[in-house]
Amino acid sequence: MNNSYPVRWRRPRRDWLRPGGLYPFGEPWFDPFPEVTDIIVADFCPYACVHRFFHGIRRSPTLITERSLEGAGDVFHQFIAFLKSSIVNGRLSRPTLGVIRREFEDFVDRFRRRRPFRMDSRRLWNDIIRPWCERKLDELNEMHIGSRIFFEVYASDTHVRFEHNGRSFSYPLRGRIDELNLDDQVIIERTIVGAPHDEHPPDSDALQVWLLWKILTSISRENYPIEMRNVDFRSFRLIVETPFRDFEISRNNPEFEERVLRAYSWIRDIARDPGAIPNAFRERRCDREPNIRCNFMYHYIGCRRRLPNYPLARPIMRQRFRGWYRSLLWELMWSRDFFEYTLLTLNIEELERDGIIVRARSGGNLIDTRDGMLIELELPDDVVGAVIAHARDLGRCRIVFGTLHLGQRLEGEVLESSREDRINVLIERRYIPIMQNSIAILSDITLLESNPWFLIPLLQRNLFRYEQIGRYREDRAREDAFVQLVEALFGGPRNLVREARSHEQHEE
């Protein structure tokens, strides 16, 4: 591995991005299009980056919560976004703590209908939501209808600029902003990590909000939504918000610049060079800092976990799996990263002409239902039939409110409309969109096919889980069907068979 940084980044050539330009086969001729979380993971520990890219482990190694509060961070952010949106659109006015508590209970009930919800909602209120509400109540009461506050804003660019030793370097980067407040000129990263007497913000969240700001300031102004063309993000304040305190992060941060460039070096080498994986293993953070708190230590993927003795063919199986992991990573880069490069490199007319996107217009008012926000979209006459057929086959699509560089990318369920040139889309998030200038928070609306690339990390996780299954005792291994299957497939010893089978052979 090349330990030097900054490194050069390979991006697809423009002519590759057009139909017929490059057939997706084998190792990609470009480097990944990282997410902000990828940078944070690689900065935290290079071997955690291996887990993320090859083993499909999407959870953060820096976020450690009790099992009764797993998923609490997402609920925390969603409820605050819903609460603020309710004030901005006029549904709530100067709420009291009691009103907010009732809103929270109703929100949790709806949340439970959509997905499994195992966390203790009473504890979530007492430990996380209530402390935040008590210190933010005056701020909530000062909000007014029509405030320009956006939630879950997606920012992405192929050339995000970083500085090192007086030189400028650029890399692709994308991420999601929890809250973007144009009126107060602030970017907020919200987290449940923290304690009442903390004097410093969680390091990973401080780095995250700084990276998101770097994306915003790197996007060309012509790629901003119309409503933001006059906004100067360079002067925005960066805030990490915990349930107990707000921390302001410095925009001028040479330490972050260096850490990020080192993380890019790890990401490129791990994705490109098989020899980088053993190097990353030797650079595990838990070797350098034995007392480090890492989420991976508390789950089944602990780096120091002693694997069962059986199957004996495990080393051969793991060697085979390494090739499969890399092939799945290549498939992920072709289906997800190449698509992102395409969206941000070609102009909107080329994307529409090539059939990659469909642009739409608002067909009416937004309807707030218990299942989400119902939006009616007016489509061009020449594509409405294809979109409706797609809806019948898959039922879902991704809608972009704003531009492909800066806006909201939301999954929606496509429903047929009573009018021939229109479709209805049900957005699960009730608080999105909230801007009223057009249909949603931003003026342009784009339909994308929702590719199920998330299935690839699922395959990686399953392979990694199989890699660790086994038995410690030989007598148990003889009776374990999975152990026997692995021994048979990967060349294990013939004498490791079930006892009953041995007796039958002896009698013969």
SS (H, E, C) 133-167: HHHHHHHHHHCCCCCCEEEEEEEEEEEEEEEECCE
Characterize the bridge pairing of strands 367-369 and 186-190: unpaired
**Cα separation, 280 vs 276, whole angstroms:** 6
Characterize the bridge pairing of strands 246-249 and 445-448: unpaired
Mean local confidence (pLDDT), 309-319:
89
State the pLDDT at residue 291. Answer: 78
State the pLDDT at residue 364. Answer: 64
Residue 68 has pLDDT above 80, yes or no: no
State the pLDDT at residue 505. Answer: 44
Q: Range(s) for CATH 2.40.10 in the chain?
A: 346-448
State the pLDDT at residue 502. Answer: 43
**Cα separation, 94 vs 255, whole angstroms:** 42
**Cα separation, 72 vs 65, whole angstroms:** 9
Give strand pairing partners of 359: 446
State the pLDDT at residue 109. Answer: 84
**Which stretches of 189-305 are DSSP H helices?**
203-218, 254-272, 276-282, 285-288
Structure tokens at 30: 């470009």
Other beta carbons within 10 Å of 466 = 14
Domain 346-448 matching CATH 2.30.170: the answer reads: no
List, for residues 154-203, the tens digit of each pLDDT value: 999 999 999 998 899 999 999 999 999 999 999 999 999 888 999 999 99
452 preceded by a cis bond (ω within 30 of 0): no
Identify the residue whose tokens are 């004097």.
199
Strands (E), 379-475: 396-402, 406-416, 422-427, 445-448
Q: Look at the alpha carbons of 390, 392, 394, 400 in this order and tell me if their dihedral is positive or negative.
A: positive
Mean local confidence (pLDDT), 45-61:
90
3-state secondary structure of 125: helix
State the pLDDT at residue 372. Answer: 78
Characterize the bridge pairing of strands 237-241 and 186-190: parallel
Give strand pairing partners of 190: 241
State the pLDDT at residue 21. Answer: 84
State the pLDDT at residue 2. Answer: 47
State the pLDDT at residue 497. Answer: 54
Residue 285 or 28, more confident: 28
List, for residues 216-245, the tens digit of each pLDDT value: 999 999 999 887 888 999 999 999 999 999
Tell me phi and psi for residue 35, to 5 degrees: -90, 160
Cβ–Cβ under 8 Å, residues 286 and 297:
yes
What does pTM read for this prediction?
0.90
pLDDT band at 20 (very low <50, low <70, confident <90, very high): confident
Structure tokens at 362: 């608002």
Of 200-204, 260-264, 351-355, 404-408, the poorest mean pLDDT is in 351-355
List, for residues 379-420, the tens digit of each pLDDT value: 777 777 777 776 666 667 778 888 899 988 887 888 777 677
